[in-house]
Copies of this chain bind each other. A is one copy, B any other.
Amino acid sequence: EEPNPKLFKDATYQNIFEDLNSSEINEVLDYLYSQSELKLVKPDKANLTTNYIIGLELHVPNKSQALKFLDGNGREIPPAREAKAYLFLPQNDPPVVEEYIVAPIPRPTRYYHNPRRIKDIPYRVRQFSNTEMVVAVNLLRKEVATKVENMLKRSYGASFICKKNCLTFTASAVSSAFSKERKLWITSLYQLEFATLHPVGFQILINMDGINASNWKIEKLWYANKMFSSVEELVRKYENNEIPKALIRPPKASPGETSVPGSLNIRGKRFPDVPTSGPKQYEPQGHRYRVRNQHVDYLQWEFNFRMSYASGIQLYDIKFQNERIMYELSMQEIIVIYAGATPHGLYAQLSDSAFGIGNRAHGMMPGVDCPEHATFVDSVIYNEDNLTPKTYPNAICVFEHNTALPLRRHRSGSSRSGFFNSGLVDYVLILRTMFVMFNYDYIIDFVFHQNGAIDVKVHSTGFILSSLYYHEEGAYGFRVSESSIAPVHHHLFSFKADMDILGTKNRYMTLDTEVENRTRKWYENGEYHTQLTFKRNLKSTEQKAAYKYNFNTPKYHLIINNDKLNKYSEPRGYRILGKGFSKQILPENHGFERTITWSRYQMCVTKRKDSEDTSSSMYSMFDSGDPVVDFVSYINDNENIVDEDLVAWLSLGMHHIPHTEDVPNTATTGNEMSISFLPFNYFTEDPSMGSRDAVRVDSKIKSKGQKADVTIERYGTPHKFSCLAKQYDFQKIVNNASVLFQQP
């Protein structure tokens, strides 16, 4: 099971980016709870007015300290290990959210304000929490559910107070794009698989402003396509037949089927006719990589990974052939902007970090979500759901994959150029995680190729959101079921790439493809000739480097080191290639757009600062009036970016107009978005030329008509294996479902 240890480095690697383990987290918790001035209570005792810790994660060291250690002589002391705690402090005046750094680990002795957080964080813009959901649900139960029980049952054949035929709900934040207060639009759904496909059109606006729960109130209600100011008004008008009445019933299975449309059970025309396994992958000689302490070694690659509670997956110190290519490559934000004719759709402009992106990765299924032969890695997360840190199994997986595509190949079959065929399969190492945001599942892959290239890939799947079908929603979407319409929406993803090309002193240059229109004295009759050429375009400042994609001006984007020239005097560098850029068409500075200013640009290159560590924050759901992280300010000071430590901020996206085939789940086909980092004049030749995975066939003939001498060169790599490597033992899941699910 353990791979050939000769393939790997010594196990004593110290990963300064490794996430806090359970005992470290417990130490930090104990320390914070013992600081009486913080007045912290434990989550099980917390409410809207109590100070408490909502989450906690590693505080990644400042880069200068990290580099000192990483690039030191091996005798450097690693930077102090620190934690970052997210605290709700409603007891403060004014109430705030605080991010405290707790240090050192182990045995913390001090805490201090996160120096990377420049602005104060008003309590109103805080991320979602259990404490407020408890209040909101109680309010709904008390002020709505019982009062409308009769109306719901008659209108929908279901209600919130139920054993079967249940309604459930989901919420969209009314972000500060729309309101200076903290509000939530709740929409009601049949509690079926899956609820977001079965809205009934009953929506409720809760005003959750302030820390006094008794001031919270039901502000509006939407029923049968009309707005009401109070539950009483709605119920009175309903009972007095002053309004049209909804009449909807829960969907049923189609004749001959056992499952409800929209559920994830087999349905429709079955195939294959006879159940038969599709192809599988295996590792004939075991793993060719090693995962230890959140550090991965794979052939010429190595890197560290971690899961940020707030912003999701992060890679650090990515090296190829022992040279750092990237200091950091990390997810920053996941956004969906919906639309609709009724409040829930119209207000649904969602910033997923408000839920803690790292919170949402766990339980990937072997053989489906990742191959059976993958290495599954747990994450350890502390959040308000528990008193102690929680281990989430299968949060991340790492596997080597045979893409069945050559990375390179050439076949030559002529006397003039020889008879040979040389190729190398594009074997890749993939680090994968999936974030499930209630209904949607986002698949994030980091892909490492043998030629020094890295891809980041994003796919969306899972369930779409939908609105109750009626005429006016037709402007926003297509019907996807008898009773629902799925609105157009915009997915947006923010990534950070802190490339370090042979050091931190880098430049951003584009190669702009142009048309040259000129004559040459030897050219045909002195006519002019048009042909391709390209210009080097050095971007001197941050504003010049704020890039809005333009199809009509093709260009290459390079991060180069002007002091490190290749053999031919060209600066060594990497190319950044985005596939899956998407135009943000909503107007600038209007509403929610103000807090996602990164989405205006497909790529920005800024001068790196520890204090500009993210493009977004957990507060972006509610802070567009005055964004806590104001991304556009990173470029507004228009700093010099020549020979500086540069960071590229990349925005991917996709307009999604759902259709019937998005039910039950959106297919990943057609929705891949990616960013590739490709060596560009960095190596003297393709570094995959050293790969023993290559195969070369030569065929030589001595004289015409004779049988050729054929050799197949595999550079010592075995290729014939008689029996399978291990397969995943699925009984493990049957015995212990906690690998996939955390249950009460």
Interface centre among A262, A321, A668, A722, by most chain B C-beta atoms within 10 angstroms, is A668
CB within 8 Å for A680 and B696 given contacts A268-B689, A284-B280, A533-B339: no
CA distance A692 to B420 in the complex (A): 42
Question: Is A704's CB within 8 Å of the partner chain B?
Answer: yes
Could you tell me if B513 and A655 are in contact, using CB atoms closer than 8 angstroms?
Answer: yes
Given the known A-B contacts A690-B267, A701-B744, are A441 and B410 also in contact in the complex, defined by CB atoms under 8 Å?
yes
User: With an 8 A cutoff between CB atoms, is A538 at the interface?
Assistant: no
Query: A411-422 interface mask toward B, CB cutoff 8 Å, 1 = contact, 0 = none?
Result: 111011111111
- For A479, the chain B residues whose CB sits under 8 A away are 568-570
Q: A579 contacts which chain B residues (CB < 8 A)?
A: 579, 672
Contact (Cβ within 8 A) A566 B660:
yes
Contact of A411 among B425, B436, B534 (CB under 8 A): B436
A residues 48-67 near B (Cβ < 8 Å) are none
Taken together as a complex, chains A and B put the C-alpha atoms of A401 and B281 apart, in Å, by 9
* Cβ A410 vs Cβ B462 within 8 A: yes
Give a binary string over A1-24; 1 marks a CB under 8 Å from any B CB, 0 the rest: 000101100000000000000000
Which residues of chain B come closer than 8 Å to A741, judged between CB atoms?
413, 419, 421, 699, 708
Determine if A235 is an interface residue (Cβ-Cβ < 8 Å): no
Contact A269 B401 (CB under 8 A): no
Instruction: Give A419 to B436 CA distance when docked, in angstroms.
Output: 13
- The answer on a CB contact under 8 Å between A282 and B279 is yes
* B-chain residues with CB within 8 Å of residue A405 when the two chains form the complex: 443, 445, 459, 668
A280 / chain B contacts, CB cutoff of 8 Å:
281-282, 284, 402, 721
A715 to B426, CA, bound (A): 33
Determine whether A651 belongs to the interface, using a CB cutoff of 8 Å to chain B.
no
Stretch of A99-107, A611-619, A732-740 on the interface side:
A732-740
> Which of the four size classes fits the interface of chain A?
35 or more
Contact of A701 with B409 at beta-carbon distance under 8 Å, contacts A346-B529, A685-B267, A686-B662 already known = no
What does the 1/0 interface line of A715-744 toward B look like (CB < 8 Å)?
A: 111111111100100100111010011111
Could you tell me if A692 and B275 are in contact, using CB atoms closer than 8 angstroms?
A: yes
Given contacts A409-B441, A552-B583, A737-B708, contact A488 B515 (CB under 8 A): no
Q: How far is the CA of A623 from the CA of B733 in the complex (A)?
A: 66
Contact A279 B402 (CB under 8 A): yes
Interface-centre pick from A408, A452, A683 (highest chain B CB count, 10 A): A408
- Tell me the complex Cα distance, A685–B268, Å: 9
Residues of B within 8 A of A404 (CB): 281, 370-371, 399, 401, 430
A260 to B480, CA, bound (A): 61
Q: How far is the CB of A577 from chain B (nearest CB, A)?
A: 5
Measured in the bound complex, the distance between the Cα atoms of B339 and A679 in whole Å is 23
In this assembly, does A434 line the interface, its C-beta being within 8 Å of a C-beta of chain B? yes
Partner of A451, one of B285, B368, B667, B742: B667
Bound CA span A220–B521, Å: 13
Which B-chain residue is minimally distant from A476 (CB atoms)? B533
Interface set, chain A 571-607, CB cutoff 8 A to B: 575, 577, 579, 581-583, 585-587, 590-591
Sampled A-B contacts (30; CB under 8 Å)? A194-B417, A195-B417, A264-B410, A264-B420, A266-B691, A270-B692, A272-B692, A275-B718, A278-B400, A279-B281, A279-B427, A280-B402, A281-B281, A281-B282, A337-B531, A364-B411, A365-B409, A367-B425, A368-B406, A405-B459, A408-B461, A451-B661, A478-B570, A551-B583, A659-B680, A659-B681, A667-B678, A708-B743, A712-B730, A722-B724
